[in-house]
Amino acid sequence: WSRALAIFRQMGIRGAEPNVVSFSAMISALAKGGRWDLALLLLDEARAGNVTPNIFTYNAAISACERGHQWSGALQLLTEARSASLADVIGLNAAISACSKALQWQRALLLAHRGAFFPTGAVRLEPTAVTFNASIGACGAGSHWTLALQLLSEMPSSKVQPDHVTLGAATSALGEASQWSRALLVLEDFQRNRGLAADQISLSAATAACARGHAWAAALGMLREMKARSFEPH
């Protein structure tokens, strides 16, 4: 990102004023480099230079906040994007993830339930697998395992296909609440009905759930399966 920023600065010196495309690309590079602070400064610089942010600019800035665990900044930017009719599901998902990572599970779930369907012009934002995964993860952070299962059950009606991240988030949420039997049922359901075998993350979460619930035989079974698949317990 430092080299990209140097090139970006050279544009003005050479008389080529940065536009919204170059600002968006630079903010995205800073987000990927973990420099959320510089990304937000650059966004302010764009506004000061009469460069109007577009949907890509906002998404890049929200992603920068998400990577930097700046949940309040992510929410503020999402609100601004919504006011300008520039919000989409990518920015929404990043904001939900930012709240989830910062253990702001109530805000994450509020976004998931209300924000995922807010109208942007004539377009309604529909939840994706990322939306559900971040929301289920937020349930784990808030010890709301029943809501995690509810979200999991809502995915088919939303025409969203669960993936390994979904499985890991669900088993982790159940594991945090010591719901070991339900964690094992979720693992079985994914393998039997969805064709998704448990991975290292979900097996580790299920093992931890069994241990918390003093289900030692089940925990030992999980450990044996992990060993057979050359997985290291987390």
Both 101 and 32 in a single domain? yes
Both 74 and 145 in a single domain? no
Both 109 and 145 in a single domain? no
**Domain end among 71, 100, 126:** 126
- pLDDT of 142 higher than 80: no
Q: For residue range 77-113, what is the model confidence (pLDDT) as tens digits?
A: 999 998 898 888 899 999 998 998 888 888 888 887 6
Residue type, 71: W
- pLDDT of 42 higher than 90: yes
- pLDDT of 122 higher than 70: no
Residues 65, 71 contacting (CB under 8 angstroms)? yes
Quick one: pLDDT at residue 123? 46
- pLDDT of 115 higher than 60: no
Distances (CA, A) of 28 to 11, 65, 79, 190: 17, 11, 19, 35
Q: What is the pTM of this model?
A: 0.73
- pLDDT of 21 higher than 90: yes
**Domain end among 76, 91, 126:** 126
Domain of residue 52: give its range: 1-126
The CA-to-CA distance between both ends of the chain, in Å, stands at 32
Residue 124's DSSP bridge partners are: 119
- Residue 148 phi/psi, 5-degree rounding, is -60, -45
Quick one: pLDDT at residue 231? 82
- pLDDT of 53 higher than 80: yes
Kindly report the CATH number assigned to the domain that includes residue 41.
1.25.40.10
- pLDDT of 220 higher than 60: yes
- pLDDT of 141 higher than 80: no
User: What secondary structure, in 3-state letters, does 22-59 show?
Assistant: HHHHHHHHHHHCCCHHHHHHHHHHHHHCCCCCCHHHHH
**Domain end among 87, 103, 126:** 126
